[in-house]
Amino acid sequence: VATIQDVAVRAGVSTATVSRALNGKSTVNPALVHRVITAARELEYEPNGLARSLRRQETAVWALVITDIQNPFFTSVARGVEDGAQAAGYSVVLCNSDENPQKEQEYLKVSLQERVAGVILWPTSVHTDVSRLLEHDVAVVTIDRALRGRSVDAVLGGSRSGARRGTRHLVAQGYRRVACVTGPSGNPAADECLAGYEDAIRAHPGGDGDALVRRVPGQVKEGYAATIDLLAQPDPPDALFVANGPLAAGALEALAARRLRAGRDVGIVAFDDAPWTRLVDPPLTVVSQPAYDVGRTAARLLLSRLDYPSAAARTVTLGADLVVRGSSSR
Partner DNA sequence: GTGAAAGCGCTAACAA
Partner DNA sequence: TTGTTAGCGCTTTCAC
By the rule CB under 7 A, 60 interacts with DNA: no
The reply on whether position 180 binds its own copies by CB under 8 A is no
Q: Which one of the spans 16-24, 64-72, 156-164, 320-328 is the region binding its own copies (CB under 8 A)?
A: 64-72
Stretch that binds DNA, among 21-29, 116-124, 228-236, 310-318 (CB under 7 A): 21-29
323 is a contact residue toward its own copies (CB under 8 A): no
Q: Which of 9, 22, 94, 316 binds its own copies (CB under 8 A)?
A: 94
Query: Which member of 174, 278, 321, 330 binds its own copies (CB under 8 A)?
Result: 278
* Cα 77 from Cα 94, distance rounded (Å): 11
State how far the Cα of 270 lies from the Cα of 325, in Å rounded to an integer.
11
Q: Which does 94 bind (CB under 5 to 8 A by kind): DNA, its own copies, none?
A: its own copies
What does the H/E/C string look like for 71-105?
CHHHHHHHHHHHHHHHHCCCEEEEEECCCCHHHHH
49, burial (CB in 10 Å: exposed 0-12, middle 13-18, buried 19+): exposed
Say whether residue 249 binds its own copies (CB under 8 A).
yes
* Cβ contact 265:236 at 8 Å: no
H or E element at residue 18: helix 15-22
- Based on the shown chain and the rule CB under 7 A, indicate whether residue 51 belongs to the binding site for DNA: yes
Asked if 32 touches DNA (CB under 7 A), the answer is yes
Identified binder of DNA from the candidate list 27, 89, 137, 209, rule CB under 7 A: 27
Q: Name the one range near DNA by CB under 7 A: 2-10, 84-92, 202-210, 263-271.
A: 2-10
Ordered strands of the 213-215 beta sheet: 213-215, 178-182, 239-242, 267-271, 285-288, 321-323
Instruction: State the angle between helix axes of 188-202 and 159-172 in degrees (0 to 180), rounded to the nearest 10.
Output: 40
Over the window 209 to 238, marking each residue x when it contacts its own copies by CB under 8 A and - when it does not, the resulting string is -----------x------------------
The three-class DSSP label of residue 227 is: helix
Q: Pick the stretch among 246-254, 293-301, 303-311, 321-329 that binds its own copies (CB under 8 A).
A: 246-254
31 C-beta neighbours (distance < 10 Å), count:
8
Among the listed residues 34, 41, 48, 86, the single contact to DNA using CB under 7 A: 48
Q: Which residues contact 130 (CB under 8 A, 6 or more apart)?
A: 108, 119, 121, 140, 142, 150, 152
**113 is a site residue for its own copies (CB under 8 A):** yes
In terms of CB distance, is 282 or 319 closer to its own copies? 282
Identify the bridge partners of residue 239 per DSSP, sorted by sequence position. 178, 267
Q: Does 28 bind DNA (CB under 7 A)?
A: yes
Q: CB 44 → DNA: shortest distance, Å?
A: 12
* 9, 15, 37, 96: which one binds its own copies (CB under 8 A): 96
181 to each of 133, 224, 225, how far by Cα in Å? 33, 10, 10
* Binding flag, residue 215, DNA (CB under 7 A): no
d(CA 45, CA 169) in angstroms, rounded, equals 62
Whole-number minimum distance, CB 181 to its own copies, in Å?
Answer: 15
Q: Is 185 in the site for its own copies (CB under 8 A)?
A: no
> Can you give the binding site for its own copies, defined by CB under 8 A?
1, 44, 46-51, 53-54, 59, 61, 69-70, 72, 75-76, 78-79, 82, 91, 93-96, 98, 107, 109-110, 112-115, 132, 135-137, 220, 246, 249-250, 252-253, 256, 274-276, 278-281
